[in-house]
Amino acid sequence: MDTARSCDLLVAGSGAGGLSAAVVAAELGLRVIVVEKAAQFGGTTAWSGGWMWIPRNPLAVGAGIVEDEAAPRAYLRHELGAHYDAARLDAFLAHGPRMVEFLRARAAIAFIDGNAIPDFHGGAPGAASGGRSVCAAPVDARILGERLAALREPLDLTAFLGMGIAAGADLRHFLMAMRSWASFRHAARRVAVHLADRLVHGRGMHLVAGNALVARLLRAALDRGVELRAGTALTALVRDGTRVTGGRVAGAGGAETLVAARGVVLACGGFPHDDARKRALFAHAPTGREHCSAAVPSNTGDGLRLGESAGGVVAADLAAAGAWAPVSLVRRADGSVGHFPHLIERGKPGLIAVTRAGRRFVNEAGSYYDFMEALFAALPAGAPVEAWLVCDHRFIRRYGLGHVKPAPLPLGPSLRSGYLQRGATLAALAARCGIDAAVLADTVERFNRGARHGADDEFGRGTTAYNRVQGDPTHGPNPCVAPLERAPFYAVRVVPGSLGTFAGLRTDAHARVLDAGGTAIAGLYACGNDMASVMGGRYPSGGITLGPALTFGYLAAHHAAGRAPD
C-alpha cells in the first residue's frame, strides 16, 4: 500500500557527497531522509582511501602552509585546459576549506592532514608538494552503536583479513614488518587487536580511511536526527510542474512517496556498473563489460537516469568519462570475480609494466589515471586493453603484487588460481603470459642498465615528488627504481578499470542540476559522481573525487536551506 511522508530534503545515496549534504542540511535545521539502495551505507567511499583534495584547508593553514587561491587555480587551469569550469571551480576553491571547518566545528568530525602528499604532476604551474589533502581521522567503530552493522566494511580484496590499513605510516609498517622490529611490533599488534575484534564484534573496530569518513558522517547524521534507510532505492522523482518535490522509494516495506519540501539530492555513485552507459561513453568497452570498475556493485547509474527523467543532461564531452585505474581480476572462494585496484605497488623499485608486445609504455610510478591513459594510447585500435605488471622474487616478497601479499604470506594460492604467473626465467614467464619473449628480455635488459644506478632513462621514473612518495624511502639512490634480477620472475595481468565515473549530470555552482538549456531544475541537486566532474574528466591529484563531493554536498545543503555558505 502506497503511503506518503514528508521531509525537507531527500538524499539518494550514502557516500561522501550524500552524507555531507545530509549532515550539513540537518545542522542547518532541515528534516532529512537518506535512502541507500544497498544493504549497507557508505558506497564506494567506504572502500576508498578517504583522501580529499582541498587546497588551503584549515589543517594545512594551521601547520603554516599558506597559499592564496592563485596557485591551485593556476594548477587546475594547466591541468584541465579547455575543461576548466570557472564558476564551479571558484565555488569549490572558495568553499572547500569552509566545508572542512564546518564539519570540524559544527559536526565534530575530526580530520588528519595530508601535508606531505604532493599533486600528481609536480612540474606543472601551480603544483604543490603537499598541503592540499585531508582525510578523516581513524575512529573506533563503537561510535555507531547498534547501527554499526549498517556500515559497509572495507573492500575485502585490499583489506588484510578484513582490516583496513591506512596510507602513510600504517602501511609503511606493514611493508617493513619483515625488515624492522618496530614495524613488526606495530603490524603484529594491529593484527592481534583486529582478530580479537572480529571474534567479539564480527568485524574490525579500528576504522581508517574512507571507512572512518563514512562512520564519522553517519554518526553526525544520527546525532542530528537524519533518518537513514538502507535497502531503499529512489525509483522515481515527483514533480509539481517543473519543480522536483520528492520521490518514490521502494524498500523491504514496499513503495512509498516521500514529499521533500526543499528538494532532492542525487548522490547515487555514478554509473561504473551500468553496461549500457559504459558502452555509450567508454571507447575501450564496446559491450560495456570490458571495463571492470573497483566501485561498489550497487552503483548502476540510478542517479543519472533519475536526473534525465526530470530534464537533466549527462555531460558526454569531458576529457574522460571515468576515473581510470588498472585493476586485476581476482576469483573469490564463492566463484565471484573481484576487481583489485593497483594503486600502491607500481611506484616501488623493481617492477615494470609491459604490453603483450613486451614493451614498457609508461612511468609506472605515476598516477593510476595516467597509467591507463598511456595504456590506451600504446595499443593499436581494436587490441584487447591489457598489460602485465612484471617483477622479480625480491620485489614480490618485499612489497607483494596486487592481491598477492608480501612475505611471510604464501604465494601458493595465487599461483594455483592463475592470478599470479611465475617463470624461472623471463622467457618462461613470457610464455606463460603470452608476452613476446625476445622483446621482454630486451626491455628488461635496457631497464636494468639504468636501474642499477637508480635511473629510468626511458620514462624518468622517480623524478617527481609524487613518484617518490609512491616509492620505498629505504631504497636508494632512487626510491622508485631497482633492476629486475633475482629469479624467479612474476607477473599479474591488469585490465581497464576505474575508481568511479566522471560523466555525470551538468550542474551549477550550487550543485543544482541543469537542463539542456542551462537552466537550473528547481529542487534537484547532484553531487559526488552523479555530478559531472568539476575536474572536467582530468585527474590532477588524489582526492579530486571526494574533495568536490563533500564540498558540493555542503553547497547543495546550504542552497536547499536558503542559507549562504558559512
- Cis amide bond preceding 488, omega within 30: yes
Query: Would you say 120 and 539 are in contact if contact means Cβ atoms under 8 Å apart?
Result: yes
User: How confident is the model at residue 549, as a pLDDT?
Assistant: 98
DSSP notation for 102-122: HHHHHH---EEE-TTPPPS-T
C-alpha of 10 from chain center: 25
Candidates 151, 60, 164; CA nearest to 112 is 60
> pLDDT tens digits, the chain, 566 residues: what are they?
455 689 999 999 999 999 999 999 999 999 999 999 999 999 999 999 999 999 999 999 999 999 988 999 999 999 999 999 999 999 999 999 999 999 999 999 999 999 999 999 998 999 999 999 999 999 999 999 999 999 999 988 887 878 787 777 877 777 777 788 887 888 788 888 888 888 888 888 999 999 999 999 999 999 999 999 999 999 999 999 999 999 999 998 899 999 999 999 999 999 999 999 999 999 999 999 999 999 999 999 999 999 999 999 999 999 999 999 999 999 998 989 999 999 989 999 999 999 999 999 999 999 999 999 999 999 998 899 999 999 999 999 999 999 999 999 999 999 999 999 999 999 999 999 999 999 999 999 999 999 999 999 999 999 999 999 999 999 999 999 999 999 999 999 999 999 999 999 999 999 999 999 999 999 999 999 999 999 999 999 999 999 999 999 999 999 999 999 97
Rounded-to-5 percentages of helix, strand, coil across the chain? 35, 20, 40
User: How confident is the model at residue 316, as a pLDDT?
Assistant: 94
Model pTM score: 0.95
Q: How far separated are the first and last CA of the chain, in Å rounded?
A: 42
For residue 526, list its beta bridge partners: 266
Cα distances (angstroms) measured from residue 519 to each of 109, 247, 249, 516: 35, 21, 27, 7
User: How confident is the model at residue 1, as a pLDDT?
Assistant: 42
Query: Would you say 468 and 132 are in contact if contact means Cβ atoms under 8 Å apart?
Result: no
Helix (H) or strand (E) holding 368: helix 368-378
What gap in Å lies between CA 495 and CA 326, rounded to an integer?
6
| Other Cβ atoms closer than 10 A to 177 | 21
Torsion angle of the four alpha carbons 551, 552, 556, 559, in this order, in degrees rounded to the nearest 10 = 70
User: How confident is the model at residue 174, as a pLDDT?
Assistant: 77
Q: Which amino acid is at 326?
A: P
